[in-house]
Amino acid sequence: MNMMTDDFKRKLQDYKDGKLADEERAELERELEKMELYQSYLDEMMGSEEGKGTKPEALTAREEKIHKREAKLLRKGKWKFRFGTLLTLFSLFIWFTFLSGIGSAIYFSAGEPDVNDVLKDVVESAIAVGYPNVSVYMSSNSGMYFNLKLNGKMTKRVGDERVEVGDLSGNFLFSWLRTYDFAWSDQETNNKFFYFPSDQSIDSSREWKRLDKLPEGTVAEAYVSYKQLYPTGDFLKLFEGKQIEPLWFAVDHGEAMAKGKKGFDPIITSPIGFPAYPNWHPGDGKVTKGERRKTTSYPAIEQYGSAKIRDENFIKSLRILAEHKMAASRLIPFVDMKESLEYVEKNGVKIYGAVVTGPTKEILKLKEDPAVSAIRVGKVALWNWTGEE
């Protein structure tokens, strides 16, 4: 039976041109598969007949031409269908990318404060709390597929100048910190520690000697540990009248107590604390709208006072990091922010150390301060101090 009726030929041509409806195309493909099966069966039967010495009936030239044309149309139709499917998928990908870009912009700008500001604040708070005398101000850029890229320069203060100590970058997927990278230009920055108050004697003779050998006309950064815990207000009074300035305060967050269960160790390798000037969060300031732009003002901070404002700001930072525990645990490893928050809320803000800066010889005078237990010298720079001598 010759299946190449005019209607069948028309359907084959429409199949090749991609004009058939889905149902008709599927029906035609089933018919073509049947034809292939019939042909395969006939070839097998003809082969069997040849094996018996029976000569099969040869196809006429017209039938052979029709058969080849059917196979050619089938191949072209299949490739055209595959190409059309690929083109459709590619178009869907382009549209999804475009729509995800719009969705990203909407997602990260939603809320008050918006998600963008909240995530920047999480990163900046983590650095302020977990990295003594290091600060960072992040810039952000929302991209496709609900990604937010953050970048910032990490700096620390030595004397009256800020110096770069590295770069910090991160990538959020929605509100999950997917990747991050600390590129330290000064590896020593991340290797400082404090000593928790204890009855054990601490030998800082090498550090004091180093300060003594440094020449006049230099300024330094130093990590100073104290013999007891102080409330913030009392601790600030220790610096009145001194030509040095506290930059960051180390706060008791229970690490020494946790170590005490395994044998007391006064060395605090993962300190947390807060900068002398508060790390303000979105919503902390008073916004004033002007004709052209709005300005934000924050509470005034007294140099040796404002203890309540400082403590509240620090506890708020811990709450923010506890709420974003996954991001905090990646940026500040080895510190459980939820446990630290609970400990500080229960026991209050108690300070046992500070990062200070000032003229080298002024810092050396701390050797005679009975409240000081130990010191470690950080970065040193040429004279840039503008305070009174």
pLDDT per residue as tens digits for the range 251-288: 999 876 655 445 567 889 899 999 999 999 998 988 88
pTM score, whole prediction: 0.76
For the residues of 267-313, what is the DSSP string, one character each?
A: EESS-EEEESS----TTSSEEEE-SS-EEEE-----TT--HHHHHHH
**In the prediction, which pLDDT does 209 show?**
97
Confidence grade of residue 222 (pLDDT, cut at 50, 70, 90): very high
Question: Lowest-pLDDT range, 26-30, 34-38, 165-169, 295-299?
Answer: 34-38
pLDDT in tens, 23-55: 777 777 777 766 665 666 556 665 555 545 555
Q: What is the pLDDT of residue 74?
A: 66
Tell me the one-letter amino acid at 207.
E
Whole-number mean pLDDT of the chain?
85
Rounded distance between C-alpha atoms, residue 116 and residue 150, angstroms: 10
Query: What b/e string do you get for 135-156 counting C-beta neighbours within 10 Å, with b at 16 or more?
Result: bbebebebeeebbbebebbbbb
Residue indicated by tokens 């230099």: 218
Q: Is residue 234 over pLDDT 70?
A: yes
> Are the C-beta atoms of residues 364 and 212 closer than 8 Å to each other?
yes
Of 306 and 192, more confident: 306
Q: Is 140 helix (H, G, I), strand (E, B) or coil?
A: strand
pLDDT at 256: 65
Residue 2 predicted with pLDDT over 60? no
Check residue 290 and give its pLDDT: 73
* Helix/strand/coil percentages in the chain, nearest 5: 45, 25, 30
Measuring CA to CA, which residue among 373, 362, 364 is closest to residue 224?
A: 373
Assess contact for 301 and 284: CB atoms under 8 A.
no
Angle in degrees, CA 22, 23, 25, rounded to 5:
65
Where is average pLDDT lowest: 14-18, 27-31, 306-310, 343-347?
14-18
Q: Is the pLDDT of residue 150 over 90?
A: yes
Query: With contact defined as beta carbons under 8 Å apart, do 297 and 288 qualify?
Result: yes
pLDDT at 1: 42
The H or E element spanning position 264 is: none
Report residue 64's pLDDT band, with 50, 70 and 90 as the boundaries.
Answer: low
| AA letter at 87 | L
Residue 228 pLDDT level (bands cut at 50, 70, 90): very high
Structure tokens at 128: 């302020």
Residues 6+ apart with CB under 8 A from 246: 236, 239, 276, 354, 355, 356
pLDDT of the residue at 3: 47
Residue 279: φ, ψ to 5°: -90, 95
pLDDT band at 289 (very low <50, low <70, confident <90, very high): confident
- Residue 237's pLDDT is 97
Q: How much is the pLDDT for 106?
A: 85
Whether 337 shows a pLDDT value over 80: the answer reads: yes
Q: What pLDDT is attached to residue 19?
A: 72
Q: Would the pLDDT of 100 be above 80?
A: no
Q: What percent of the chain has pLDDT over 70?
A: 82
Distance in angstroms (rounded) separating the CA atoms of residues 309 and 179: 33
Alpha carbon distance 229, 252 (integer Å):
8
> How far is CA 203 from each of CA 194, 224, 230, 354, 360, rounded to the nearest angstrom?
13, 13, 22, 18, 20
Show the DSSP H helices in 155-204 as ranges. none
pLDDT of residue 84: 74
pLDDT category at 245 given cuts 50, 70, 90 is very high
User: Helix or strand or coil: residue 361?
Assistant: helix
Q: Is the bond into 113 cis (omega within 30 degrees of 0)?
A: yes
Q: What is the mean pLDDT of residues 96-107?
A: 77
From residue 97, alpha-carbon distances to 88, 143, 254 in Å are 14, 10, 47
Mean pLDDT lowest among 115-124, 150-159, 257-266, 291-300: 257-266
Asked if the model's pLDDT at residue 130 lies above 80, the reply is yes
Strands 176-184 and 161-173, bridge-based pairing: antiparallel
Among 7, 15, 135, smallest CA distance to 73 is for 15
